[in-house]
A and B are shown apart, each in its own frame.
Chain A
Amino acid sequence: MKKLRLFAFAILLLVGFIRPYAVYAGFPIGKYRDLVVPSFNYYSQTNHYDVYGNYVKGLPGARYTSMSANLYLGYGISRRLDLIVSVPYLYQVNTISAGKSIISQGAGDMVAGLSYNLVNYSFKRFLSVQVSGVVPLYTAVSGTSALGLGDYGTEVKLMFCGTLPDFIADKGYFNTEAAYRRYFNFQGPDQVSFLATVGYPISWHNQVSFDISVMRSFSPNKSFNINYNAERDYAFVKPQLNLGHTFTRRFSMFVGGYYVPYGINTGLGYGGSIVAIIKL
């Protein structure tokens, strides 16, 4: 009977963490499995923080709006090794004043790399490392583009995720990521980011997750750009709340909203995302 209980417990644990929002986190995708995650993001800002972190009210009628679609693909090469590719497409409207706008659109920075599961703790928690390359899919004119920095880069990310410890909750999952990204330009930037996510099922098919991300981008170029994709030295904190629904074993969707309550040399705005998770 002990064996049957263990079997059941193992299934419960597995089910507990196989449907997280942060599927493209440190959870191994699994050998031969494919993951397709299309998403749509909206962001809008009128005000910003200056280089000292002071709140600056935007000019009347000025607004920066970004809409982006992103396609994330993951493939499990082995039980530990995954191939990941992420391709964004951006549509941005920068309204400088009433009736005067600059629109930019196109593919952004592609991120492609390999994720390797370093350690699994009884298949309940996973410590993984991801090494990626950043490739601009647009042409920067005179070194500038509204779609990104226009530079190649590389990123190393350490991820720790899994089921929540029993002393916190009997179900749910967490994900933590610490990343360092370097763009190959004399101005950098060097970027350090941290992400923490906690997800909890609220019913059989629904879950809520909360994540907070902290980003710091370092560069000798301190100039402010209302379009954060194109600036180099900034920082922000971004909490986000998500609601997820599992339609089938292969298809889930998440809707989330966020706000930027604090930043340095960056916009003060809000946004939302719709994410579909398709497991093939």
Chain B
Amino acid sequence: MKKFSLLLCFTILLIAGNMLKANAQEQETAETGDIILKPTPKNENALFKKNEEIVYNLRIQNNTNQYKEGKISYLLTTDDGKKVRLDSVHLAIRGGATKEIAVKLLPKPSGFYHLNFMVNTGDYDDTVRKVFGVDPQEIRSQLHKPTDFEAFWKQSREQLEKVAPKYRCLERKDLSTDRKKVYAVEMHSYGDLVIRGWLVVPRDGSKFPVHYRVPGYVVALNPNMDNDDFIAFDLNVRGNGNSKDVISIGTDNYCLVNVENKDKYIYRGVYMDCIRGLDFLCSHESLGIDTSKIFVEGGSQGGALALITAALDKRVKLLTMQVPLFADIHDNMNISSSYQKQVFPFKVFRRYNDMHPNFTWDKFFSTFDYYDPQNFAPMVKCPVLMGIGLLDQFCPPRCSMALFNHISSNSKEYVCVANSTHEVDLNYFMFQNLWLREKFRIP
């Protein structure tokens, strides 16, 4: 009786746990096609050690009711398209049947690798693309930092400081709720341009840490009503959201504005807008802002802006970024040149290069080296959390990790999401929330 009771209790717990896990897994596997290939890395995050065999379990499912014969192959390349290995096996599978193959690869040097699984039968072809990493924390890249880099940004800060901010902060009762006050915020920034943002202050408390969010590429940020434990400050830098008074440019050209002139390149003002946002926060403590607990966050372009803000200004105490755009721009160019179809950002830069014969890549880099987030990374001293998607082509994982490895903070963590493209997943954000609470000791 005693043993039975004990066994019963533990069994109930384990069954409940496994049911929930199985339910989650089933939701992930809804795919269609005649023959489904489902490669699963041995390590869930698709990261391996240098001395570790790389193993994928390849599940092959024949969704038809007919016998199929053909070939299963895989192509392993470096992330810049250099072929490492091509191999194949004969496929013979009955209708409705499922097979599993273990694909084993010898240990590889540090880096990211593309692994394409292909199925070819007489009447059906399909390719499933995967990326895995090997000791990404050991990836190193060259910094192409201009000698006057620090002086350039010091001068930019000085020019920003000469612009009177003329802050306006108006409560928007129409957007406020019984739990939160919403303020429309306006200020003058670099070049005396007006930029705007949204400040959302919880009502049940007197002082809050700040979640300062900077925008993705030409993305409008709106009041963030979801955060109950932080004051949410969402800044639309010039040309984004409600900050389009002077600069209102579509995604095809935004990053090209004055790209041939490092002094006038659009991102000089954009980076300074982010600093001006910090100035705003630190001059409005009366709204309940705890200026000792400001964390800056962003994804894609926002990830780059968040990093640069943390690098240039020590008022930022925590940095979280996802898929940071423009990182390690030199390697990004090399990697993207191997793509069959160009994607942002080099799709835009290459088009500009094609249309402007005098615009050489040397000229491009003579500007962009002042703006490459990687060059700011050594200046980041606060704790950092970064999330990347391994299938990301906009921000290749190697470039994001190169940036990450240049960050000089001794408290930094990264999360790789194996099956994500230019985004991370819910799991990452759940972890990020816990990470923030841990770092700021939020109950």
Contact = CB atoms under 8 A, between A and B. Distances in A.
Contacts of B6: 178, 180, 192
Contacts of A9: 426, 429
Interface string A118-151: 0101111101000000000000000000000000
Contact of B5 (A30, A127, A216): A216
A2 interface: yes
A266 B289 CA distance: 56
A30 B2 contact: no
A158 B427 CA distance: 24
B441 interface: yes
Interface stretch (B10-18, B255-263, B333-341): B10-18
A249 B205 contact: yes
A6 B437 CA distance: 18
Interface in B399-443: 423-434, 437-438, 441-443
B229 A10 contact: no
A57 interface: no
A12 B226 contact: yes
A180 to B, nearest CB: 6
Contacts of A202: none
B434 A123 contact: yes
A249 B443 contact: yes
Given A10-B429, A218-B2, A165 B13 contact: no
A192 B219 CA distance: 57
A178 B430 contact: no
Given A3-B322, A178-B10, A192 B5 contact: yes
B13 A250 contact: no
A14 B434 contact: yes
Contacts of B322: 3
Interface in B1-59: 1-2, 5-6, 9-10, 12-13, 16-17, 20-21, 23-24
B299 interface: yes
A6 B9 contact: no
* Residue among A11, A121, A158, A159 with most chain B CB within 10 A: A11
Given A3-B424, A11-B226, A123-B427, A176 B16 contact: yes
Contacts of A250: 443
Interface in A235-270: 248-250
A4 B21 CA distance: 25
A38 B2 CA distance: 33
8 contacts: A3-B322, A10-B429, A11-B227, A14-B433, A121-B24, A127-B13, A165-B20, A190-B2
What 4 A-B pairs come out closest when comparing CB atoms? Answer: A178-B9, A10-B429, A279-B443, A123-B430
Contact of B226 (A7, A31, A192, A280): A7
Given A160-B13, A192-B6, A124 B443 contact: no
A124 B430 contact: yes
A56 interface: no
Interface string A6-29: 111111111100000000000000
Contacts of B9: 158, 178-179, 192-194
B392 interface: no
Contacts of A32: 438, 441
Given A32-B441, A158-B10, A160-B17, 4 more contacts: A11-B429, A11-B433, A79-B434, A249-B229
Given A3-B423, A178-B9, A249-B205, A13 B430 contact: yes
A122 B27 CA distance: 14
B161 interface: no
A33 interface: yes
Interface secondary structure of A, over-half rule: mixed
Contacts of A124: 430
B314 interface: no
B237 to A, nearest CB: 16
B179 interface: yes
B443 A33 contact: yes
* Residue among B2, B429, B432, B438 with most chain A CB within 10 A: B429
A178 B13 contact: yes
A10 B430 contact: yes
Nearest to B387: A3
A204 interface: yes
A112 B438 CA distance: 24
A2 B5 contact: no
A249 B442 CA distance: 9
B290 interface: no
Contacts of B219: 1
Contacts of A13: 430
B171 interface: no
B135 interface: no
B228 interface: yes
A37 to B, nearest CB: 13
Nearest to A127: B17
Contacts of B224: 4, 8
Contacts of B205: 248-249
Contacts of A279: 443
B49 to A, nearest CB: 22
Contacts of B12: 176, 178, 194
A152 B17 CA distance: 32
Interface string A45-68: 000000000000000000000000
A31 B440 CA distance: 11
B179 A204 contact: yes
Contacts of A194: 9, 12
Given A125-B17, A158-B13, A204-B179, A10 B426 contact: yes
